[in-house]
Amino acid sequence: MIKVDSIKDIRKLLVNEKNIAFVPTMGNLHEGHLSLVDIASSASKAVVVSIFINPTQFSSSKDLKDYPKTPDKDIKLLKKYKNLIIFMPSIEEIYPENTNKKYELPPIANELCGRTRPGHFNGVITIIDKLFSLVNPQIVIFGKKDYQQLLIVKMFTKKNYPKIKVIGGATIRDKNGLALSSRNNLYEEKQLINASNLYKELQNIVNQIKSSHNNNNSNIIDRSTRKLESLGWEIEYIEIRKASDLSEPLSKDSLLVILGAGKFKDIRLIDSIEFCIGQPN
């Protein structure tokens, strides 16, 4: 394992590598991140993990300040991987000057999480563009928990970096079903059970839709939304979309995804579940 923090050093290390698998992270690593590194390690002998809390994707300075930072723990967790390069640059290294580049993103970037977090996905693509051009990977792995992010990155990559293959890694959950997230560390332990209610209600909606013989999904979603609100949640959205591109599904579409976002104890969490109705088209 090698750790570097400068663009000069990472370029020097990767200059002769032809098959790089890359896992971009914002640190505070957990088993979900490690599952992505496992995929990368299976795909290539040269693996890069970046740890960088990207300020351009935060709309709130408080949210940025409060984001968990555990660099020593992160390095310790990654020590078991051979041939691993950890790239931990400073903000000044990545953004020597203020950046305000605007990317042409698909309409979906303004929906779902994009409705309440204006500029968020532009900030995500800003750092992805920088890291892709720097690391020059052949394979990149993102978690499916951030399903909208994964789809937007795939769309951007297909257009701008067509030689890169973007892979989605399965969401890793705790024993209560809560998707592992760096933000989970902001909760007290007794609050984690309640935080898992978002996933439980998403799963409940999916089960009801699968067993229902009508198309009145809005009533099912409304009931779960009210239940979550009664448990202390502030729900931003719960929506069902077409899994392939997050467009509004038609009656003939069978491969779907339910996505939800909300705040519990003032901490924002997101989750998603892919599912199928009937025979896939």
Closest CA to 187 of 71, 66, 70: 66
Whether the CB-CB separation of 19 and 46 falls below 8 Å is answered with yes
Closest CA to 44 of 131, 134, 133, 140: 140
Strand partners for 234:
263
- Residue appearing with tokens 């992805």: 128
Q: How far apart are CA 46 and CA 41, in angstroms?
A: 8
DSSP H or E stretch at residue 48: strand 46-51
Q: End-to-end CA distance of the chain, in Å?
A: 45
Pair of tokens at residue 181: 């997230």
Across the chain, how many H-helices and E-strands are there? 11, 9
Active site residues: 33
| Strand 20-25 versus strand 46-51 pairing type | parallel
